[in-house]
Amino acid sequence: MNLFTTVFIMVRRDLILALRHKSELLTALFFFVIVVNLLPLGVGPDPKLLSKIAPGVLWIGALLATLLGLPRLFAHDYQDGSLEQLSLSPHSFTLIVLGKIMAHWLVAGLPVVLITPFLGIQFNLSGPIIAVMMATLLLGTPVLSLIGSIGAALTLGVRGGGVLLSLLILPLYIPVLIFGAGAAEAYRSGLDMSGYFWLLAALDILALFFAPWVSAVALKVALE
C-alpha cells in the first residue's frame, strides 16, 4: 500500500462516517450562513457598508465554521478506541492524520467555499470580487483545517475542550484572515493582489508539511 492509498482510504472512511451523520455535516454550513446573515442585522442594511465589510465578515464566518467542527475531528475515534488502533497501524500515523484533516476540510471547508456566491449576492458584492473571495477561501480554508487539527489534537479529551480549542487556535488563524480578506480589499482598491495568493499558497504548503506531523505527535501524547 503506497502513501497515497493510506491517505485516500482515511479520507473515504471519514467521509462515509460524516455522510452517515448528515446533521453534523450541515451544522457547520448553516452556522456559517447564520453568522454571516446576523451581521447586517447588527450594523444596519446600508448596501455600501455591507459590501465594504463583506470580505472580512465572510472570512470570520469561515473561521468560526471551521472551528465548530474541529472538536469532533478526533473525538469520536478517540472515544471508541479506533484512534489508538490507527496509531498502532504499520502505516505512517502522520498520513492517517492528514487523511482525517482532508476529510474535515471536505466536510467543513469546501461547502463554505461553495456557498459563498449566494452570501456575496446578499452583501451586494460584484461578480469579480465574489470570484476573488472564492479563490482566497479555497486557498485559505485548508490552512484553517490543518492548523486547527493541532489544537484539536492538543485538547483531545481535555475538560472544556471546545472553548479551549478556540482560545488556542484563533490567534494562529490571524495571518490567514489578513491575507484572505486583504486580497479582496486589494482588488477593490485596484491594487495587485497576486502577492496575497502567493502568501496564502505559501501558508498552505507550510501547514501541509508541518501540521499533520505536529498533530500526530500531539495525538501520540494524548494517547499515551
In the region spanning residues 140 to 179, those forming contacts with another protein, defined by CB under 8 A, are 150, 154-155, 158-161, 164, 167-168, 170-172, 174-175, 178-179
Q: How far apart are CA 74 and CA 99, in angstroms?
A: 12
In the region spanning residues 188 to 217, those forming contacts with another protein, defined by CB under 8 A, are 199, 203, 210, 214, 217
Q: How far apart are CA 134 and CA 151, in angstroms?
A: 26
Q: Is the dihedral of CA 107, 164, 199, 62 positive or negative?
A: positive
- What is the closest distance, in whole angstroms, from the C-beta atom of residue 178 to another protein in the complex? 4
- What is the closest distance, in whole angstroms, from the C-beta atom of residue 172 to another protein in the complex? 5
Query: Looking at beta carbons only, is 33 or 147 nearer to another protein?
Result: 147
Check binding of 186 to another protein (CB under 8 A). Answer: yes
Cβ-count burial 21-43 (b if 16+ within 10 Å, e if not): eeebbebbbebbbebbeebbeee
In the region spanning residues 121 to 140, those forming contacts with another protein, defined by CB under 8 A, are none
State which of residues 10, 125, 184, 218 lies at the interface with another protein (CB under 8 A). 218
- What is the closest distance, in whole angstroms, from the C-beta atom of residue 155 to another protein in the complex? 7
Q: How far apart are CA 191 and CA 184, in angstroms?
A: 10
- What is the closest distance, in whole angstroms, from the C-beta atom of residue 73 to another protein in the complex? 16
In the region spanning residues 32 to 61, those forming contacts with another protein, defined by CB under 8 A, are none
Q: Residues interacting with another protein, by CB under 8 A? A: 150, 154-155, 158-161, 164, 167-168, 170-172, 174-175, 178-179, 182, 185-186, 199, 203, 210, 214, 217-218, 221-222, 224
